[in-house]
Structures are given as C-alpha cells and as structure tokens.
Structure 1
Amino acid sequence: MKTHPYFQLLFLFAFVAIVSCSKKEDPFVEADPMLTLELKSSAGTGELEVLSVNDSVYFTVNGNNGEDYSDIATYYVNETAISARAYFFRQTGTYAVKAVYNDVNSNILNFEVLAPTERALTIDVTKALRDQTITFGLLDSDGNNTASEAIFYVNNDEISGFTYSSATPGNFDVYAKYEVNNEQQTSVTKPFEVFIPKRKVVIEDYTGTWCGFCPAVALAIENVEAVTEHVSVVAIHKTASSYPDPLDFDRIEDLQQMFGVSNGFPKAQLNRTVSWAEPYNIGEVTAMAGNDTDLSMAINSQLTGANLTVQVKVIYENGSEAGDKLVVYLLENGVVAPQANYFNETPGHPYEGLGNPIVDYVHNHGLRNSLSDLFGDAIPQTPAFQEFKKSYSFVVPSNYVGDNLSFVVMVVRADNSAKNSQFSKINENKNYE
C-alpha cells in the first residue's frame, strides 16, 4: 500500500484535474527542406568503384536546391582535405571520399585501387537475415565482374558459384581464388554476418514531473534495463497548468485516447497497446524481450548545427503485412528538473529520503517530437529481404540539447501494436539487430 500524507493525495488529484487538455496541434512542423549534397565522380556512381594505380577521378557536387557546389565545396579523401576537385590515386588501397560545404556533408563514395593482379571482392549484403541470398563479386581494375571465373570459399569451405545463404546465424569469412596470366591468386578475406532479428519490447511511460507516484515506473524500467538490452523506452510527459513540465508532449492526449490511457498517472504500456500495471512485473517484459522475430530496423542519423537528418531502414524475413506502419520518435535524455516524490517517507523504498520533490532528478527517454505521423507512416507492400527506406529531416529547436537526443523507431500493425522496435543515439549508424 502506498504511504503518503493525506494532503499529498489531494495535491495529486488537483494536479490531474488541472492538467492542460487543449493542445491538439502536431508538434512536428515541416520546415523548409534542408540542404543536402550529392557527390558524384567521373569513375561512376556505384557504391564501390575500382581503379588502377595513377587513375584520376573528377568530382562534382550538387545540392537538392538545384545549385552546383562543385567549385566551393571542400573534398576529403580518407578524412584529409584535398585542394582540388580531382584526385590522383597513386597507391593501392581503399579510399572514402566526401564533400563538405558549410558543415553539410555529402554522401560518401568508395574506391578501391588495385594492382594488375588484384581483384576487389564485394559482398552485396554484409549483414543478412537467415536464408537471405548473399551475392559475391570480384571486380578487376576496369570494373568487370569476374566472379563467374573464380572459386569462392566461405569459412574455408569451397562453395558452388558465387551466392550463399545460411539458415544458421553466425559470423562468416569469404575469399576467392582466381587466375591472372595462368597464375593463381587469392583475394583479400572479408567478413559478413547472418542474423536472426531479436525483439525489442516498447515500454511507454505516461508520466509528469508533478506526479508523485510516477517514479515507480521509472524505477521499474531501470530494473528491466538492468537485465535486458532488448527494450525501447519512451517517456511521454503531460504538463499541469500550474506545474509546467519541461518535457510536456503536446499530443499526449491523442495517444491516451488511441490507447485507452486514463489520467490516473503513472500509466505504462507495452508494445503500445498492452497495459503494464502495478507492481510492474519485469517478467512480463523479459518474457518477450530478445525473442526471435522476423523483421529488423536500422537507423542512421546526422545532426549538423540545428539540422537533423534521419534515415530508417526496415527489412522483413517474410515480407510486410497490410497495414504495417513506421513510427519514428525523437527523444531527449538528461533533462534535469524537480520530480514530485511520494516515496520520500516510505521505509525501505529506493526513493526514501531523496526529498519531495527530488530537486535534481534526471529525466530520460522524454518524447520530444514524432518525425513520422504520430501513429506511423504507411509501409508499402515490401517483399522478403527487400529493404524499405524512409528519410526524415527536422530543424531542432534551440531548447533541445543536441548531444542528448536519441530515437525510438517502431514497426506497428494496423491495430497500432508494435511488432518490433529499435533505438539509437544521435549521430549513430545503428545497424540491423
């Protein structure tokens, strides 16, 4: 039983009664398109171009605004600035080239410079789902694919042809043997991985800094995170008119209405649609967390100044289902604000004696904005093993701390229940898991 003074209970009821209910606007306002740069080269536009020693390559850069930035951008080869738009590749090896203008980075072009007897080994999918076909290539310095003339070895075992799939997850190595001028050559060895997606359970914490019992859910979430990494946490804050919450989410009432979440905070939901009720048994979460599933998500974000760009990729083992949607939430961690604490005088409670309120309470996982539609953007019919990609851009408000931003991404069904989720930090390239 909760122990607290009677006046604190009245205080809680008063705050719930005066919580602001009028904000219905979407907090994500589409800004003017931010500048993006596309780098191209005279060698080609593939993800990897092969060259011979002393080949030169000429670069061009165009913006999404139709402007040509070729003469005013700075070019970097393996992160070292060069003084011209052309580059002579005088040594064998691998090279990554990008262009930068006013802190805006272009895409990256990759080059491999080969000696006459060398071949560039390529792998079309370096992290593949189980039973997904992986295709190997073997390029000469003219860009010709000689894979059909080579013998490939996976984990030192010869395979038939130049494709491979595995029903068993694991880490693998591949190399090829081939002939040049009647002499046998061996390519470099490259790794790839076959994986089975693991389910990340979505935990949504409906909370407020004014809510004295709400730290109970935050504590339960900490206990879950201590035993599994397979959770994606979203804290959805609601303000009170006389007790403003710095993480107030303007459209919390739309979420409450959709998922049947009443104002008697705290409230917690699992995978969007299932109530996680007191005493917040962590076994309800761990029973699902980390289980094998059939879809995975990857997140790649870049924050330059106030300009945020995010690309999300989704891949299915069995293809999408009608009604699938993509939800992309922007979160902020490390927000320090007083937190009401009705456990201050509860003997043996972890929050006993911390004060009411806890003055320097650190709030994490706070939902700041929905970059997608609040309930998700439609995913078109997507076959098995084919990537679905979607990009978002956003101008980050000045009251957000950029380094503390993060993401939770979900694929949800037509009924809004989460099939799987992924999380990532800002400026992180989070691969499929």
Structure 2
Amino acid sequence: MNLYQTAALLALLVTAGCGLSSCSGATDDSETALAVELAYDKASIDADGESAVTFTVKQGGVDITAKATISYTYGEETKELAQATFSTNVAGTYTFTATYDGQSSKPVSITANEITVVKSQFVRRICVMEFTGTWCTFCPSGALRLQDMLVRNFDGIYDLMAFHLDKDPMAIPQSSTLMKKFKQDGAPACTVDMREGMDISSGPAKAKKACENSLENYPAHCGVAIASVYNEASKTAEVTVKVTSEKTSKYRLAVYVLEDGIVYPQADGSITRDDYVHNHVVRKLIAASGLVEGDDLGEIASGKEATKTYQVNIDKAWNIENLSFYALALDAENRVNNLSVCAAKNGKTDYEYNKNN
C-alpha cells in the first residue's frame, strides 16, 4: 500500500468513527435544560392558620427559591405565594407548582387537615383598613358605600381605620408601606385584618366577602383590653394594652392613634367639598419597632396574659377630645386576630366576651 492509499484509508476510518459517535466541535442545542424541583418540609399541616409548610426550589442542586415563583391551586382558585411558606384555615388538598425561567416543576400536593374549633370566649372584632386621599375623587363614595356595608352586615364588631396617602396632609409613612404590602396602587382600597388588599372603587363586595372569611375561617384565639391615662400638663398619655391568649401562640402588637372630626377640603367627583369631615384618620403608629406589624410580644401560653405599656406624646395639632387608640393583636402570620379601641382621654375598654359564655 503506497502513501496515498494509507492516507485515504485513515481518512475513511476517521469519517466512519465520527459518524458512529456523532463527533462535533459544537454543543447540541437540543440538550434538555436542568429540571426545576419543588421540595417541602411536610406533606400535611393543620388547617389552623398557623401550622405551615415551607418550600424549597432547586435547579441542578442549586437553591433558587428566592428567584422562583410558587403558586397553588385549590378547587377553581389559583394563587401565587408571597413567600415560600403556606398556611390556611380551610381544610383540603392543595396542589403546588414552582416556576423559574419558563420552566415548571412537577406538581406536589399538601393536605390541610381539618381541626376541631372551640368557640372563643372573646368577641371577634374585624379590622378594616381603608386607603384614601383628599385628592381622590372616588374616595368619598367608596368610603360611604364601605361604611354602609359594614353597618348593615357587621354592626358592632368592626373597627375602621383610614390611612391617607401621598401628598395628603394627613398621610403617614405607614400608609404607603401598607399599600405596597397588599399590592395596591390606587385609592380607594382596603384590607381586612391585614390579610389581602382589594380595590373598592366599584363597590364593597370584595370587602364584605373578606369580612365573612375572617369571621368564618379565622376565629379569635385571643382577647384585647386597652386603657389610656391622659396627663393634661405634659400632654402625654400612658397606654396599657393586655392580650390574653386561648392557645399557646406568638403575637405582635400594633397600636395606632386615630382622630375623628377633621375638617379639610376633599375632592368628590367633579367638585371639591371644603367642609368635608374626615373621621377615623390614622395619625400615628405607636411601636418601638416602627413596623406596621407592631412590636413582638413573643409567645403567650394558653390562658396567660401579656401586658405592654406605651408613653404617647399628643401632638398639638391633634384634638385630644377626638382621639382614640387602636390596639391590634397580630397572630403568628402577622394577621389581625383581634383588636380593641379606647378614647385617648382616660378611656378604657375591657376584654369583650361572647354573651353565651
């Protein structure tokens, strides 16, 4: 075999080898991407609003939980989780899926077990936070319809708080914080028990449903009492709040100053009403933490009471005769479980018990 024949044979063998082994200098673009995997720390939880499952999302062994979106389906409802944890008061089976960069994980199922609910000895009050502004042309009608709905359906068991927004002279920093927290971008809007936000410009139907949900699925497991001692000379009030828990649970306490009877111009449709009276206006958050969720009370054992006292400076622009203190007891999920209200000038509200207890 001469030199040319040897070279030709080698070339033929190399070509055949490449054909059998798919030789290529480039990466195959059809290679399957790494799968998104959704893991969980428990397959079942109690439907008590506090027992929770924690999820972890990985891709190729790398934790991408913070970048992924986790959503669940229950019945015909599909919702996205704000965090990688889930709790509920509604028993049933929930299906979860994680999505990242266009890829979805295999669905996983979590069961929320029904628990026996013992009726609380305390009256369950509803906290309705309304978001408004003097510049908002739809807010007067929205507020009127919201309050009418509350009076007709939940009279005696609701407390309304008006958080003013933006350049409104009655606005406070916590108003915009709460709007962002509950993903609202306009007024009028509201949240019930700090659970979820909703637009109420077209009516209070969603707010009514949220109130019903609080009463039916999130019963009280604590009572709140509040008292204020006002010092005329120093223009200060000593506010004492007590929280008694019916089960061992963690709590936070948020105390707010509210004022009624503030006269200030308000846009109303196509006109401005110069003599408009603003009520239940949130003037200030009283919390060492500065958080809208208030201060940490820690864990309160079943049947035990926690007490916290605040010294509040009464601003000279506020009318002490029209001021109130609202004390919100938040549960382990930072939702309002119960609340109590008293007048700022030597007011006192004891624990409110159900009449049939």
TM-score (norm 1): 0.48
Q: Is the 8 A contact 1:301 1:310 kept in 2?
A: yes
**C-alpha displacement of 1:414:** 4.1
Structure 2 counterpart of 1:199 = 124
Structure 2 counterpart of 1:56 = none
Amino acid at match of 2:239: V
Q: Is the 8 A contact 1:224 1:286 kept in 2?
A: no
- Whether 1:234 aligns to 2:161 is yes
**C-alpha displacement of 1:313:** 0.2
CA distance in structure 1 between the aligned counterparts of 2:327 and 2:146, rounded to whole angstroms:
18
Amino acid at match of 2:192: L
State the SS of the aligned residue for 2:299. Answer: coil
Alignment of 1:38-53 (within 5 A): none
C-alpha change, 1:408 and 1:221, in structure 2 (3 Å) is farther
- Whether 1:385 aligns to 2:295 is no
- Whether 1:280 aligns to 2:204 is yes
Match of 1:327 among 254, 268, 274: 254
Match of 1:376 among 272, 289, 294: 294
- Whether 1:362 aligns to 2:277 is yes
Structure 1 counterpart of 2:148 = 223
Q: Is the 8 A contact 1:217 1:268 kept in 2?
A: no
- Whether 1:252 aligns to 2:171 is no
Alignment of 1:28-427 (within 5 A): 196-227=121-152, 228-240=155-167, 245-262=168-185, 264-278=186-200, 279-281=203-205, 283-284=208-209, 286-288=211-213, 293-305=220-232, 306-321=235-250, 324-342=251-269, 356-372=271-287, 373-374=290-291, 375-426=293-344, 427=346
CA distance in structure 2 between the aligned counterparts of 1:290 and 1:273, rounded to whole angstroms:
13
TM-score (norm 2): 0.58
Q: Is the 8 A contact 1:205 1:217 kept in 2?
A: no
Amino acid at match of 1:368: R
- Two-structure CA RMSD over aligned residues (Å): 2.2
State the SS of the aligned residue for 2:341. Answer: strand
Structure 2 counterpart of 1:429 = 348
1:312-343 Cα distance to aligned partner (Å, 9 max, x none): 0000111223xx2111111111101111111x
Amino acid at match of 2:189: K
CA distance in structure 1 between the aligned counterparts of 2:149 and 2:248, rounded to whole angstroms:
31
State the SS of the aligned residue for 1:283. Answer: helix
State the SS of the aligned residue for 2:169. Answer: coil
Amino acid at match of 1:391: T
1:200-241 Cα distance to aligned partner (Å, 9 max, x none): 11111111111111113311332134231111211111142x
CA distance in structure 2 between the aligned counterparts of 1:285 and 1:256, rounded to whole angstroms:
17
Q: Is the 8 A contact 2:161 2:258 kept in 1?
A: yes
C-alpha change, 1:285 and 1:259, in structure 2 (3 Å) is closer
Give the structure with the larger helix fraction: 2
Amino acid at match of 1:226: V
Structure 1 counterpart of 2:3 = none
CA distance in structure 1 between the aligned counterparts of 2:336 and 2:199, rounded to whole angstroms:
18
Q: Is the 8 A contact 1:233 1:408 kept in 2?
A: no
Larger radius of gyration: 2
State the SS of the aligned residue for 2:298. Answer: coil
Q: Is the 8 A contact 1:315 1:387 kept in 2?
A: yes
Percentage identity across paired residues of the two chains: 27
Q: Is the 8 A contact 1:300 1:310 kept in 2?
A: yes
Unaligned runs of 5+ in 1: 1-167, 170-194, 345-355
Q: Is the 8 A contact 2:184 2:198 kept in 1?
A: no
Structure 2 counterpart of 1:160 = none
Unaligned runs of 5+ in 2: 1-117, 353-357
CA distance in structure 2 between the aligned counterparts of 1:199 and 1:293, rounded to whole angstroms:
5
Q: Is the 8 A contact 1:329 1:408 kept in 2?
A: yes
